[in-house]
A and B are shown apart, each in its own frame.
Chain A
Amino acid sequence: MKIEIRTTVNGRDMEAVVKPNQTVLEWLRDDLRLRGSVEGCGVGVCGSCTVLIDGRPVSSCLMLATNIEGKQLTTIEGLATGDDLDPIQQAFLDNQAFQCGYCTPGMIMAIKGLLNSNLRPTEEEARDYLSGNICRCGTYSEVLAAVKSLSERNGTKQ
């Protein structure tokens, strides 16, 4: 069985045919060949498949592709505009906030979601929000430094 959906991926409207049991992650990787989002745990707890749906982070390994009908999907591939990096990507470079890099796209997307809802997160808020993104290489100090630099860039907390 196939189901037709209309959705927006990284700013581009599209019509697609998906399977009823296909996850968003499978659809992105297998059909759209957008492979920056990756599977780590398959049960929605490691965060490496994080994408944004209408600006909010979602574990794409748990959500069915049929559920993105009419929604705005953003993946790591949609953050930069040509050579212009998203400020989060630049902050990751500036702070060298990655090692093996496997969790990095999900981590960046989760931070995008964090900053969408909270322009100037404190360290406590960042730790809490990002606790669903596991980095086994242990790059948490550098990621927190990247978030701090973004938070400070957005001005001080009132």
Chain B
Amino acid sequence: MSSVGLDVSRADGPAKIRGAAQYAADIELPGMLFVKALRSAYPHAKILRVEASKAEKLPGVVAVLTRDDLKGKNAFFGPVVKDQPVLAIDRVRYAGEVIAAVAAEARDIAEEALDLIEVDYEPMPAVYDLLEAMKPEAPVLHVDRTKAQSFPAKSGFRLQDEGNVLSRYHVEDGDVAVGFGESDEIFEDVYTSPKIQHAHIEPHATVAYWEPSGKLVLYTSTQTPSSIRTQLAELLGLPQSMVRVIVPFVGGGYGAKTHPRLEPLAALIARKAHRPVQWVLTREEVFLTAHCQAAVVKIKTGVKRDGTIVARQVEAVYDIGAYALTSTNTGRNGGEVSGGPYRIKHQDLTTYCVYTNTPPTGPYRGFGVPQVCWAYESQMDDIARRLSIDPLELRLKNLVREGDPFVTGHNLVSVGISDCARRAAEAIGWQRGAEQAPRALSGKVRGKGMAVMIKTTMTPSNSSALVRLNTDGSAVLLTSSVEIGQGTLTSLAQIVAEELGLSVEHVSVTFPDTDVTPFDQSTSSSRTVFTMGGAARQAAHQIRQQLLEIGARVLEANVEDLQLINGFLEVKGVPDKRRSIPQLFQARYGAAVGNMVGTFDNQTSGGLDPTTGKGKGSVFYFLSACAAEVEVDTDTGKITVQQVITAVDAGKAINPRLCHMQNEGSMIMSLGSSLFEEMVFDNGQPINSTFLEYMPPSMEDHPKKFQSLLVETPHPEGPYGAKGVGEAGLGPIEPAIGNALANALNGIRVKDLPLRPDRVLAAVQSAKEHGV
């Protein structure tokens, strides 16, 4: 192949290394105002009064938006249930919720005006803990759960009618009671993961203005331009054609920039001001806008003495914060795979999504899976220790294989997970049978651990692509996929170039502009290469067919004997019998004019039945393995990660270097949540919402040995066999590090993330007391 499978250099390199890449906050429109938001001081309160007249009179203030502006209008949005107001109407549900916003000539004027807005609150009882929130006596956040127009039919989950449980997902196979009865050993544990930050370095930013025609135009830092258009049209009562969403470069998202965040308010205040507005969040506001769901996972597993897993029961609860967004799907996503990538005859898997008076959560790289993987993979090593079976052997014995039916009922294809596990273990120098050997617990102690993961991708979903071939043999791919750092501008160009036999430099890929570029469900779920790449390949294929037909006529040859290579169409084996692309345009139109166009609407099929939880859960599965080595200081509890190696089944790596970089990103991100990242609240008030107190991993945390491995098990439906890789490396890191720690501490386990020094020290103490 001439483009696919090569480490093609990124198309966005020249702009990025010169500081010329344009992000949403760099957009400046004539007459643009600056927006600042007034946020709630209380985690749960009735809003008795909002008085903005003093703020409105401050020189330089052009518009103040309050609940008064929403009277009699649609005020609520949400991709699944419409539970989130543009700004607080009658109550606030988390400390930091927006109550009013000011648009002014300068940022400092807008800030000053916020102090002039008067708000009277009546504090209400609040609930911050996910298990407390499930109790019947807990204060209830939401009564109304109106479904959005975009509510998926085969969602898998079921909305609950009352209390704080928004949704429940359940699936079962066999009969766990029978399975536990047949088991020789039963393991029961509870694992927890805290709220963590996406910590994309570019804060959310939106520029909004209204054309005189009544069209809303947004430049916004989003991963979901098509969804923003759909939801704003629904909210504002506009035809979708009157909402135009343009996405420049995005400075990282990791899920936090999916679905409306700033856009609804920015649109409304721009309309009121009759001027363009720019709203850029501060870092503290980012902490109040999106984060990853905390979870408590109860897991019970029954095994035979030979290591066969017979039965597994999981009950996981996700804390989704004050508003739903797509957390319903996160809960389902975690639930489907909460039994792990194993052949288990009897399974009973249930997840709940629960509202609490904390900031809204949202999709976070891994989408509900790391929380359950932390549980099942940690427990897996305890099983190995109790049964005296090597942890790698135990996994290889139970791992799913090609064609196995998964718990949701669908047969798995492209299953390279055993290869992933073997290669990760080999790379770290895994000593079978020796990694769980006893250690002397003094000074610094080392341990190795491993873990595997299975994850689904959004199914069903839709991506459309349009390819235009120009008369000179260059091509443009029109797509709404977002360049968030993963390299979409490059990998999609490679796919189009490959299909048309063009040099990759001759293929350009657009930025999303919903007036021009076709629908795309989202740049998330690591779905772009598989789904948009599939659409792009098919669109290019249509042009390929046109070229071949023209060529067959002109060259008096059979279509099957022709090939497109280096910008020429030639008869195979007869290189001088060929035509250039301009010549083929000439042959078709009598002049080198016009375009040849191909377009494809890629709708993937599947989904889960909300009653049984069964169906085709995913068009492809992410499969991966991690091996890690830690050094534990038994005097301080500090963990130093010596090595992390992750192997991911990419299907086919369209651009191996980009795949490795996605993998490395997953690894270092998850290393942070393994060791130190957690959002801390005191009675609903966030207390570490700056990078001074919440620091993502830096180069000092970057392990000395840090390796990404790719396994390629081609997927029959992926373009050239490709699957997604963006999240695959993330899930197994936490349990691999946790297992390395447990092996260093003779099996004493920390079950709560992150693995802070105080927790590790307590485990060291416990290990010493138990004399293990």
Contact = CB atoms under 8 A, between A and B. Distances in A.
A98 B487 CA distance: 10
Interface stretch (B207-215, B399-407, B665-673, B712-720): B665-673
Contacts of A55: none
Interface stretch (B16-24, B169-177, B461-469): B16-24
Nearest to B202: A102
Interface string B648-685: 00000000010001001111110000000000000000
B18 A96 contact: no
A45 B18 contact: no
A9 B141 CA distance: 53
Contacts of A128: 700
A8 B201 CA distance: 29
Contacts of B282: 42
Nearest to B700: A131
Nearest to B8: A96
A144 B108 CA distance: 39
A45 to B, nearest CB: 5
B485 A105 contact: no
Main secondary structure of the interface of A (DSSP, over half): loop
A38 B23 contact: yes
Contact of A43 (B665, B692, B696): B692
Contacts of A36: 18-20
Given A98-B17, A101-B12, A105-B19, A130 B692 contact: no
Interface string A35-65: 1111111110110100000000000000000
A43 B18 contact: no
Interface residues of B, number: 54
Contacts of B18: 36, 76-77, 79-80, 85, 89
B706 interface: yes
A65 B695 CA distance: 27
Contacts of A101: 12, 15-16, 21, 249, 251, 485
Interface string B7-31: 0011011111111111101101000
A149 interface: no
Nearest to B729: A138
Interface in A61-98: 75-77, 79-80, 85, 89, 92-93, 96, 98
Contact of A140 (B9, B17, B26, B668): B668
Nearest to B672: A136
Contact of B666 (A100, A108, A138, A141): A138
Interface in B297-316: none
B225 interface: no
B768 interface: no
B691 A134 contact: yes
A41 B484 CA distance: 19
Contacts of A139: 661, 664-665
B726 to A, nearest CB: 11
Interface of A: 21, 33, 35-43, 45-46, 48, 75-77, 79-80, 85, 89, 92-93, 96, 98-105, 108, 126-128, 130-144
12 contacts: A36-B20, A41-B692, A46-B201, A100-B485, A101-B16, A102-B200, A126-B699, A127-B700, A131-B700, A138-B665, A138-B669, A140-B699
Interface of B: 9-10, 12-23, 25-26, 28, 108, 198-203, 249-252, 254, 282-283, 484-487, 657, 661, 664-669, 690-692, 695-700, 702, 706
